[in-house]
Structure 1
Amino acid sequence: MKAVGIVMLMFGTVMADLAGECDMVGFYQELGCTALPNVDNSTTCPEAFSCPDLHPDPAVCYFKGARYSDRSLIPQSLINNPCSQACSCSVTSLGPQFDCAAVDCVEVFDTDIQQQCTYTYELDSCCSTGTVCGKDAIAKLQTCEVDGKAYKEGESFEPKNTRKTCVCTAQWNGSIDDPSYCRDINCGIEIHFQNKIWQNCAPVFAGNRRSCPIAFNCPSSKTKIIRGLNLRTVNAQCQFGNATLAVGDEVTVEEQCTKCTCDVPPFVSCTKKNSCDDQ
């Protein structure tokens, strides 16, 4: 049993490392899915995943496999996202979903302070926890050099090719694996998109599919499936609503500059470009 535990820990560590380098890994990791063996051994990125039944009963909400009846709260200690507070299950005709308290950060609205001060953050905070004002005070702050950019002490940042958020401190040692400075990003997918998962909708990503989804595309009367070529010969399939797709198939959606494909099953995934001219 001890050996199995060590193997699972190592596998989890490997998957966490791949989350910043491979499409959809972070998404599936958060949902508790397991990577399937690759058909193409030349790639280290998982080609498909096996997911647990994420929503067996439409009359309740689910979070990390646990059932939550209508109006019941998720214990805050289980939510690894400081921006998700007081989340309770709500079951309506639109399906089950979680409703959370709104978190309004002052730095989003107070543009006057932004011109004179720099906001400071703590690793487990959603909003800024303080300010440093004045040119002399700001100049005295320590800096952290990451990915060719300098961050001031107290500033938060996300290192490239990782799924982590970090805070620059005076003790910064350059290690993103040190929990004193960095933590894994938790998107709160089950919390914020509960009813979309229940409907087998497709997550929408901005730019690449290694970040948090910004929305979900769901099947509609205008949805069309365009059959493609499974050049990677992946046997796993995607589910989009009640439709089953093979790797290489595409789904047409109404949103401009958005492409949805069955690429890393079992979810169809969409990528939204800033411009329709972007490749």
Structure 2
Amino acid sequence: MSTECNLAGFYAELGCTAVTSAADNSTDCPEAYACPKLHPDPSMCYYRGVPYKDRSMIPQSAVKNPCSLACQCSVSGKPSFDCAAVDCVETFDTDMQQECIKTYELESCCSTGTVCGKDAVAALKTCEVDGKTYREGEAFEPKNSRKTCICTAQWNGTIDDSASCRDINCGIEIHYQDKLFQNCAPIFLGSDSVCPIAFTCPTNTSKVIRGLNLRAVSSQCVFGNTSLSVGDEVTVDEECTKCRCNVPPFVSCSRKIACNE
């Protein structure tokens, strides 16, 4: 059930609320989510419930992802957002004898500095997280937290420190606006359910394989124009990808990290 529970972050970003059954005490995971209508008007783009006309831009102050810049609505057949490409030009140390680390700020997309030299690196404060050591200024994502953090001299070991950590925002509505419009399914890499790596949409070869709804969940998933019950699977064209109705209303998919796993 851990993979299913991790979908909570995906649904939270879309503004969905949990639907639980009082009779189901076997798990802390909701049986389904109730989501707002993401596209009340197909001629508009939507971000966090706010409509945007063709060629209008999302104010940067409203965007929760520092790597999503200058995002403009485009309505040509299917609504989508076009954003400026962020090209992080990282500085690499050409002197193999010199040790360097890249440093970050909490609200930055790319690294903002570099510390070089064994003595300078050794003088930095360290943070111990999930069995790994990070130097002051380095970024990390604590396990099962949906947070991105920066190691600081004031790091106290808790992800609730707003000066060191912020919520991960996947930019789902921004980067996959057209896929949400078509009721496509998010694809997650392996057991990682933080941010989808892609979406898969129905094709002429997609087939539903009926399964067992062991939890007797009445809510259904929607894949394109097809409804699935919890436990049903759907075949997709993407290699090494399995898609299933676990927690409605979205079908969710998992792609193997290596096809020979």
> What's the CA shift string for 1:31-57, capped at 9, x where partnerless?
000100135222112221010100121
TM-score by length of 1: 0.88
1:256 partnered with 2:239: yes
The equivalent position to 1:103 in structure 2, one of 82, 86, 89, is 86
1:68 partnered with 2:80: no
CA distance in 1, matches of 2:95, 2:232: 46
Q: Is the 8 A contact 1:20 1:161 kept in 2?
A: no
Please report the RMSD computed on the Cα atoms of aligned residues, expressed in angstroms.
1.7
Q: Post-superposition shift, 1:276? A: 3.3
1:83 partnered with 2:67: yes
The equivalent position to 2:156 in structure 1, one of 159, 170, 173, is 173
Q: Post-superposition shift, 1:22? A: 2.1
> What's the CA shift string for 1:36-79, capped at 9, x where partnerless?
01352221122210101001211110011111000000011111
Q: Post-superposition shift, 1:149? A: 0.6
CA distance in 2, matches of 1:183, 1:104: 22
Give the corresponding residue for 1:223: 206
Between the two proteins, the alignment pairs up a number of residues equal to: 257
Q: Post-superposition shift, 1:229? A: 0.8
- Percentage of matched positions with identical amino acids: 67
CA distance in 2, matches of 1:155, 1:198: 37
Give the corresponding residue for 2:131: 148
CA distance in 1, matches of 2:179, 2:17: 20
TM-score by length of 2: 0.94
CA distance in 2, matches of 1:223, 1:78: 37
CA distance in 2, matches of 1:210, 1:90: 28
Q: Post-superposition shift, 1:248? A: 0.5
Q: Is the 8 A contact 2:200 2:238 kept in 1?
A: no
Give the corresponding residue for 2:29: 45
| Structure 1 unmatched runs, 5+ | 1-18
Give the corresponding residue for 1:31: 14
| Structure 2 unmatched runs, 5+ | none
Q: Post-superposition shift, 1:23? A: 2.4
Q: Post-superposition shift, 1:112? A: 4.2
SS, match of residue 57 in structure 2: coil
Q: Post-superposition shift, 1:234? A: 1.0
SS, match of residue 257 in structure 2: coil
Q: Is the 8 A contact 1:36 1:47 kept in 2?
A: yes
Q: Is the 8 A contact 2:19 2:34 kept in 1?
A: yes
Q: Is the 8 A contact 1:23 1:208 kept in 2?
A: no
Runs of 4+ in 1 over 6 A off after TM superposition: none
CA distance in 2, matches of 1:276, 1:170: 42
Q: Is the 8 A contact 1:24 1:209 kept in 2?
A: no
Q: Post-superposition shift, 1:231? A: 1.1
Which one-letter code corresponds to 1:76 in the other structure? Answer: Q
SS, match of residue 106 in structure 1: coil
Q: Post-superposition shift, 1:113? A: 5.5
Q: 1:230 to 1:20 in 2, by over 3 A?
A: closer
SS, match of residue 44 in structure 1: coil
CA distance in 2, matches of 1:21, 1:155: 30
Q: Is the 8 A contact 1:238 1:247 kept in 2?
A: yes
Q: Post-superposition shift, 1:136? A: 1.3
The equivalent position to 1:211 in structure 2, one of 173, 194, 198, is 194
